[in-house]
Structure 1
Amino acid sequence: MIRSLWTAATGMTAQQLNMDVISNNLANVNTAGFKKSRADFQDLLYQVSRAAGTESVNGDEVPTGIQVGLGARAAAVQKIFTTGDLQQTGNDLDIAIEGNGFFRVMMPDGEESYTRSGAFKKDGTGRMVTSDGYPLEPQIVIPENATRLSITEDGAVNVYLDGEAEPNQIGTIELTTFSNPAGLEAIGRNLLLETPASGAPVDGIPGQEGFGALAQGFLEGSNVNIMEEMVGMITTQRAYEINSKAIQTSDEMLQMVNNLA
């Protein structure tokens, strides 16, 4: 009877984590470039009272054993890197990636991080930076006398200078891919870090094989599906309730045993 109390408690803990993941997905439904997460679970150890395949008292083989599970636990929380919907903004510094790849930005400590959010700004020196001021790598510096900015699908950055009719290319935006994007470490601020599980970064030109093309004037929205998350929230709540009911029932059964004394 005590075993069922602890087993149901592990189920409640697992469903609480699932609700935490769903809540974070819903909180970031309007975050540009956000990738939803999914909680994966696995069953715990089993107590074996009789192993399958053992001999019975009359020498026959037992076809099935007796195994009682001890609950569930979280195995992983995985990011799902499907592409979000593209939203047209008309802003020259907004860039969406149509396909695979990440923008590479430089952190203040010199470490490189990666993002799908293309909501870039221009700082006081003309550099293209994130909302937190982290510069895009390789750096793109927009001249002060630039009247218009044009970014092609393959990442070529061209500016039209005041008084000139022909564009001038000032740099190229590169993308980075990983063999296992789900292994990247999320650190907030729409940034991800390389880990041993993600594999080494591979840099390349947008539009080439394995890299998505760029779309200027667009932002990639979150890939969170509100209806899916709401359904997941309902099933998680019901699973939490049924586990709490199992604890309550086990407690009532123990109470009945105590009343026999």
Structure 2
Amino acid sequence: MKALQIAATGMAAQQMRVDVVSNNLANMSTTGYNARRADFADLHYEQAARPGTITAEDGTMLPTGVQLGMGVRPSAVSVVLAQGSLSATRGDLDVAIEGRGYLEVTLPSGQAGFTRDGALRRSADGLVVTSDGHPVAPGITIPPETRSLSINAAGEVWAYFADQTEPQQLGQITLAGFTNEKGLEAIGSNLFLETVASGPANVGTPGVDGLGTLRQGFLEESSVDAVREVTDLIKAQRGYELNAKVLTAADQMLAATTQVR
């Protein structure tokens, strides 16, 4: 009886769906987090009688055949690309990305990482870094005598000094775009890595070539929709219960078979 194995794949699929939902809900307050969605596909089919087969009895052609499904499998856990709402922080190094694009950072290994978390900080050396201390590329250093900072929509960083009336430009924040953003590899800490599936990073000025713009003093909130996630959680729970009932029914049928004398 194949129902046991089929129902088991269904229960495993719903358990994975619950895992994805729980991760989304856990990251409801994570800056720049995009919700994930579990996608599934049916498994291969046992061709008891292929469509179009000529029957041996009278030579007629089967219009549909007999194809028995073997269950379900996970096909992907994809990122739902949606702009989170912007929350005002008034921090001079807090920047939110409106539209497409990622901030490029330099990881300790020297590899390039990408993030939408614009909660930037100033290191002891004055370097602009992320909350985890990764320098933002290209490197921008803030002089210690800086009185205030201004970051415009195009990513230009300007510093104001007490003894100067005109600001001084310190550098330019760039954004990286990808042909397939869903192909990026998530490594945690709001960081992504470039992959073959994502394509190479196209680094450019904010607001140019389809890239988003920057807003100083704001942070992008998580795009998780709590109502949608709870709805998906209920669906997954009911799906799990139904597959468990199939297991019970298959077990009762096998039990009845063993009692036949």
TM range (shorter): over 0.9
Q: CA shift at 1:39, angstroms?
A: 0.9
Q: What one-letter code is carried by the residue in structure 2 that aligns with 1:38?
A: R
Q: Distance between the aligned counterparts of 2:202 and 2:135, measured in 1?
A: 19
Counterpart of 2:169 in 1: which secondary structure? strand
Partner residue, 2:237: 237
Q: CA shift at 1:209, angstroms?
A: 2.5
Q: Distance between the aligned counterparts of 1:123 and 1:62, measured in 2?
A: 73
Answer with 226-235 or 44-53: which moved more.
44-53
Partner residue, 2:38: 39
Q: What one-letter code is carried by the residue in structure 1 that aligns with 2:6?
A: T
Give a deviation string over 1:107-133, Cα, whole Å, max 9, x none: 011111000000001110111111110
Q: Distance between the aligned counterparts of 1:204 and 1:243, measured in 2?
A: 50
Q: Distance between the aligned counterparts of 2:22 and 2:122, measured in 1?
A: 33
Q: What one-letter code is carried by the residue in structure 2 that aligns with 1:231?
A: T
Q: CA shift at 1:161, angstroms?
A: 1.0
Identity %: 46
Partner residue, 2:143: 143
Q: CA shift at 1:104, angstroms?
A: 0.2
Counterpart of 2:259 in 1: which secondary structure? helix
Q: Distance between the aligned counterparts of 1:193 and 1:64, measured in 2?
A: 46
Q: Distance between the aligned counterparts of 1:206 and 1:91, measured in 2?
A: 20
TM-score relative to the length of structure 1: 0.98
Q: Distance between the aligned counterparts of 1:112 and 1:55, measured in 2?
A: 60
Partner residue, 2:109: 109
Q: What one-letter code is carried by the residue in structure 1 that aligns with 2:119?
A: A
Partner residue, 2:132: 132
Q: CA shift at 1:79, angstroms?
A: 1.0
Q: Distance between the aligned counterparts of 2:66 and 2:8, measured in 1?
A: 22
Partner residue, 2:220: 220
Q: What one-letter code is carried by the residue in structure 1 that aligns with 2:43?
A: L
1:9 matches 2:8? yes
Partner residue, 1:181: 181
Counterpart of 1:260 in 2: which secondary structure? coil
- How many residue pairs get aligned? The number is 260
Q: CA shift at 1:64, angstroms?
A: 1.2
Q: Distance between the aligned counterparts of 1:122 and 1:189, measured in 2?
A: 18
Give a deviation string over 1:158-217, Cα, whole Å, max 9, x none: 010122111110100000000001000000000000000000110000011311010000
Give a deviation string over 1:62-94, Cα, whole Å, max 9, x none: 111011101000011111221111111111110
Q: What one-letter code is carried by the residue in structure 1 that aligns with 2:222?
A: S
Q: CA shift at 1:60, angstroms?
A: 1.7
In angstroms, what is the RMSD of aligned CA positions? 0.8
Structure 1 gap segments, 5+ residues each:
none
Q: Distance between the aligned counterparts of 2:256 and 2:28, measured in 1?
A: 49
Q: What one-letter code is carried by the residue in structure 1 that aligns with 2:23?
A: N
Q: Distance between the aligned counterparts of 1:162 and 1:187, measured in 2?
A: 42
Partner residue, 1:74: 74
Q: Distance between the aligned counterparts of 2:47 and 2:206, measured in 1?
A: 56
Q: Distance between the aligned counterparts of 1:16 and 1:59, measured in 2?
A: 47
Q: What one-letter code is carried by the residue in structure 2 that aligns with 1:155?
A: G
